[in-house]
Amino acid sequence: MKTKNFFTALMLMFVCAGTCTICSCSKDVTEENTPGNNTDKDSSSDNNGGDNSSGNNGENLDIHVIVNEDGTTSNGSIFSAIDNQNFYVDYIKYTVTDYYLSVSGYDKTKFNGVAKIISKLTYKGHTFEVLEIGDYAFNYCRGLTSVTIPNSVTRIGVGAFGNCSALTSVTMGNSVTSIGEYAFHGCTDLTSVTIPNSVTSIGEDAFYGCSDLTSVHITDLAAWCKIKFVTDDSNPLYYVHHLYLNGQEIKDLVIPNSVTSISKYAFYGCTGLTSVTIPNSVTSIGNSAFSGCTGLTSVHITDLAAWCKIKFDSNPLYYAHHLYMNGQEIKNLVIPNSVTDISDRAFYGCTGLISVTIPNSVTSIGSAFWGCTGLTSVTIPNSVTSIGEYAFYGCTGLTSITIPNSVTDIGEYAFRDCTGLTDVWCYAEEPPYAWDAFDVYISYNSPRISATLHVPAASLEKYRAKEPWKYFFV
């Protein structure tokens, strides 16, 4: 009922307007200062220094257009009504939606060049705020070269600027929170993009096909770490590979102390990174957060116990291979006594490790040392009851492993691909469950494990009777 009354009021507003253009400005509007052309009177503020970029360079982005009784506007913009819900300002179409305005399209016969989205429109005593760029609003607008989005806008819709192949400059206000899927898909002339601190989500393929993109610019690294990237290719770094903070390329990435979680895909494909410092405040690293960061050579921390507790859905060590604590590379790793569980993937791919000593405080080992190919020695205490899946998978440098009598369960693939393994010492009186934990090969139609197994003499027959332990014996 509320909406019905509102639109009744709007219909009264538009009685005189009809569908005709009602802008007959107090001064002549010439070809040179018509807002739909590249050379409008405020064009100096549209080009961001000519760097084909996107971002707010500190200019005033908010434009409040007031329509006078005679149809002229407060700033010389061209206004025309289509019906009681839709009208043009400077040939850009705005639609009333739930008491606010959405940019919904453009006049395909008249609009060309620079788009300055207004922030507010006052007409017949009613003021509407522009809150979104609607879905596909400028899709395939081949003439669009520059767009300025005011601080009132919070959402850039699906495909809003898709396939705008001449678009070279995008300035976003600091209120945009979401950039929809395919929002800038196919904007082949964009060379850089600035993501405001306000953005919290970016949709799938938002920058797909932006073939000339070379840089992503931000001003707040903590805000960047929190963005929800729907897929890996939601992140423009997937295509661009270089991230700039306040104009300087980030090579040695230092995550701020205020960050507790690094979102999935946050630095996906950022090949420009060479090192990353993770503060003690971080408790989780999302899936593929550092995938494709092939330039990484080191990871830096200051608290080993805090590192062991992080929930790793991915680990930058997979690419960096070398872990440093307080500036010194960790080669002989001694887990602190305060650690009770070593997180999955905690040292994943850390090929710089040579030895690992695990304290009595630890009761379980996850897939912590997967791919530590330089590891030659591991000390597992009697406190450990389970060795998780992939715990030492691919540790090709291990020649022997000692499993204490406290262990009752060994996960799948725990010692698979440990090609250098020649001796396994297992002191458990009851053979631990270890299905598929070791590499098994077929010899003379019988499964075999190439290493030599050493067990308590009193338990020998138990091991001979149980898989996979019986495969150690010839």
Sign of CA dihedral 324, 325, 331, 333: negative
pTM, to two decimals: 0.83
Residues 218, 194: contact at Cβ < 8 Å? yes
Residue 9 parent element (H or E): helix 2-13
> Of the candidates 135, 179, 137, which has an alpha carbon nearest to the alpha carbon of residue 155?
179
Where in the chain are the domains?
Answer: 1-213, 246-330, 331-474
Q: What CA–CA distance (Å, rounded) separates 169 from 38?
A: 12
For residue 99, report the phi and psi dihedrals to the nearest 5 degrees: 70, 10
The CATH fold of domain 246-330: 3.80.10
Amino acid residing at 395:
C
Task: Measure CA of the first residue to CA of the last residue in the chain; give whole Å.
Answer: 85
Sign of CA dihedral 79, 80, 81, 82: negative
> Of the candidates 80, 82, 151, 166, which has an alpha carbon nearest to the alpha carbon of residue 120?
151
Amino acid residing at 79:
F
Residues whose CB falls within 8 Å of the CB of residue 167, separated by 6 or more in sequence, listed in order:
144, 145, 146, 147, 161, 184, 187, 189, 190
Q: What CA–CA distance (Å, rounded) separates 159 from 145?
A: 16
Residues 155, 123: contact at Cβ < 8 Å? no
**Second CATH level (architecture) for the domain 1-213:** Alpha-Beta Horseshoe (3.80)
> In what order do the strands lie in the sheet containing 400-403?
400-403, 423-426, 452-454
> Tens of pLDDT along the chain (474 residues)?
333 333 333 333 333 333 333 333 333 333 333 333 333 333 333 333 333 444 555 457 899 999 998 889 999 999 998 988 899 999 999 999 888 999 999 999 999 899 999 999 998 888 999 999 999 999 999 999 999 999 999 999 999 999 999 999 999 999 999 999 999 999 999 999 999 999 999 999 999 999 899 999 999 999 999 999 999 999 999 999 999 999 999 999 999 999 999 999 999 999 999 999 999 999 999 999 999 999 999 999 999 999 999 999 999 999 999 999 999 999 999 999 999 999 999 999 999 999 999 999 999 999 999 999 999 999 999 999 999 999 999 999 999 999 999 999 999 999 999 999 999 999 999 999 999 999 987 766 778 888 999 999 999 999 999 999 999 974
Name the token pair of 69: 């009784």
For residue 150, report the phi and psi dihedrals to the nearest 5 degrees: -75, 170
**Second CATH level (architecture) for the domain 331-474:** Alpha-Beta Horseshoe (3.80)
For residue 3, report the phi and psi dihedrals to the nearest 5 degrees: -65, -40
Amino acid residing at 449:
I
DSSP letter assigned to residue 6: H
> Of the candidates 173, 171, 177, which has an alpha carbon nearest to the alpha carbon of residue 193?
171
> Of the candidates 112, 247, 246, 106, which has an alpha carbon nearest to the alpha carbon of residue 167?
112
> Of the candidates 191, 281, 270, which has an alpha carbon nearest to the alpha carbon of residue 229?
270
Query: Do 1-213 and 331-474 have matching folds?
Result: yes
